[in-house]
Amino acid sequence: MRINKRHLDQIKKQAFVVLAAHIISFLFSMPIFYLESNVSGAEIETLWDSLWFTFVSVTTIGYGDLTAHHDISKILLVVAYIITRGSFLLAIIAVSGGWLGGRVSHEMSVEDRLLVLENELKQLRGVIYNLNKLLDYERKHIKKY
């Protein structure tokens, strides 16, 4: 599939939205640092720790090396996660119209595009289900030995 100027402009706009949402979410690390610095026994001691914690939490890596203890910090992380994942999802929906393996035309409505995404997710769920069954079988088989 060739990328024309209109598609490239759309991708640039969506990339900007995603980047801006991530920058905004990382600005949440400052109030998290302030809140956590007032909690005794908090693991977040520096602004760098707060930035690292926000990054690891928002990207859902979650190493577990740092944790939030203040309730408002936890709420801020949830909001940051919603901002970043929501912008990313909107960007995927906007760009995916013509990029799902060439199966979707640009004339499709938003509802049709969402239906295609839903079907793709159902297929992925089926693959994950089959992998889970295979892993369960292997676990039972390994326990016998």
CA 87 – CA 35 distance, rounded (Å): 26
pLDDT at res. 34: 93
Name the domain count of the chain.
2
Q: Is there a single domain that holds both residue 114 and residue 43?
A: no
pLDDT tens digits along 115-133: 888 888 888 888 888 888 8
Q: Is there a single domain that holds both residue 31 and residue 82?
A: yes
Q: Is there a single domain that holds both residue 80 and residue 95?
A: yes
Do 70 and 31 touch, CB atoms closer than 8 A? no
CA 79 – CA 61 distance, rounded (Å): 17
User: For tokens 């119209």, what's the residue?
Assistant: 97
48: tokens are: 């760098």
Q: Is there a single domain that holds both residue 115 and residue 131?
A: yes
Instruction: Give CA angle at 33 (90, 57), nearest 5°.
Output: 40
pLDDT tens digits along 47-98: 999 999 998 888 888 888 999 999 899 999 998 888 888 888 877 777 666 5
CA 97 – CA 83 distance, rounded (Å): 22
In terms of residue numbers, what domain contains 58? 5-106
Instruction: Give CA angle at 41 (40, 43), nearest 5°.
Output: 120
Q: Is there a single domain that holds both residue 20 and residue 56?
A: yes
Q: Is there a single domain that holds both residue 90 and residue 26?
A: yes
pLDDT at res. 17: 83
Cα separation values, 118 from 79, 89, 93, 129, Å: 25, 13, 11, 16
Do 44 and 68 touch, CB atoms closer than 8 A? yes
